[in-house]
A and B are shown apart, each in its own frame.
Chain A
Amino acid sequence: MPIATPSQTIGPFWHLIDDPEWADLTRFGAAGEQIVLTGIVTDGLCQPVTDAAVEIWQTSPEATEVFSGYGRCRTDLTGGFRFKTLKPGPVRGLGNVLQAPHVAIRIFARGLLSGLTTRLYFEHEPLNQTDPVLSLIDDDERRRTVIAQQVSPDVWQLNIRLQGDGETVFMEI
């Protein structure tokens, strides 16, 4: 049986047709609770990663023609990304266990030969206590690397550290 094609780095000079509109997942008129997801990507020296493509994917609310559930954002000179999207609700996981509301994240950048995968959860969600993926992270401090903080009523912030102290929990899927 064939084996999947190898990944290669996105490189520093990526340019794609929908950049930068793709950072707004509501641009086709999707209705729902609009939120902003923001954060800063830093490297092993705490320096901003200014050339990354941050992508998000969410299965809640369910994808439609006006809401693809997918977004892409180029990090700016501060390493910052900012998405406008709809607040996800809980979704079923394996064994019909309810997963806490979350957004999947993938990061592509110069220096990353394969994209990195993680998730963004929302603080104060009761389901975080029983979420099957968060439960796999036994260290409280490590768990906090994937839980966004609510910095204003509709803005959630999650900083992403690629390497070193406070390194984000990345996931193999």
Chain B
Amino acid sequence: MITETAPFRPIVPRSQPANDTPSYGSTRLRHPMRPALRIPHSVTETTGPQFAASRFGARTDLSMVAGGAAQGERIILRGKVVDENNRAVPHTMIEIWQANAAGRYAHPGDQHDAPLDPHFHGGGRVFTDADGWYQFTTIKPGAYPWRNHDNAWRPNHIHYSLFGTGFGSRVITQMYFPGDPLLALDPIYLATPDPDARERLVAKLDLNITVPEWALGYRFDFVLRGRDATPMEQA
């Protein structure tokens, strides 16, 4: 594998959510008040961990636990990971986690009055293939209340964590479902100022991924930060 050392391109303005987002109440005491210090990219930022698939086993089917089928609507998630230069990102780790069909996480902190499912844990991992593709089978997560404001409900979503080729391309985000009326009311989704950027967090129903008589398929692609074509050497 080639280790790339060119710096990542700067973040495009308005394409990422600001941590100071008052409509999302939990940001109030957690967002830094001072502007971030821009630092030049060195090997610390331009390289990242290359996880050995042999040590970090894949778990691509979340719809079954111990031979039992999870409750809910089975779905397939498939997509391609590329960088901002439209190059595929192969062999990179993708982790996901999500609530069950009733809208509850298998997490001790989640006390929402909805049933746990003994056949659903909600954590998955896969590595992209040589062309940057990944696929999971899971169930569609339910919406749940979250007390951010009066009668606040999170839209159905699946959390994604990706590494890419360097520490600078690391991202954690959420995938949403098309046509969800809660999206227009969700301060987390709406926190990304550029509407084109945030709409890319919404998966697309895809009949080519759908397996007839078995599961609907959704397409969800990623763009990770790309590298400067002409790295600038700094004094």
Contacts and interface: CB of A to CB of B under 8 A. Distances in A.
Interface in A29-69: 43-45, 47, 49, 51, 55, 57-59, 63, 65, 68-69
Contacts of B52: 65, 68
Instruction: Tell me if B's interface is mostly helix, strand, loop or mixed.
Output: loop
Nearest to B17: A113
B44 to A, nearest CB: 5
B142 interface: no
Contact of A8 (B122, B123, B173): B173
Interface in A93-138: 93-95, 99, 102, 104, 106, 108-117, 119, 132-133, 136-137
Interface size band for A: 35 or more
Contacts of B34: 167, 169-170
Given A4-B223, A5-B222, A167-B34, A44 B40 contact: no
A137 B30 contact: no
A90 to B, nearest CB: 11
A108 B56 contact: no
Contact of A1 (B27, B45, B85, B99): B85
B55 A43 contact: no
Contacts of A93: 40, 42-43
Contacts of A4: 11-12, 15-16, 84, 169, 171, 223-226
Interface of B: 8, 11-12, 15-19, 21, 24, 26-34, 36-45, 47-52, 54-56, 59, 82, 84-86, 95, 97, 99, 105-107, 109-110, 122-125, 159, 161, 167-174, 188-189, 191-192, 197-198, 200-201, 222-226, 233-235
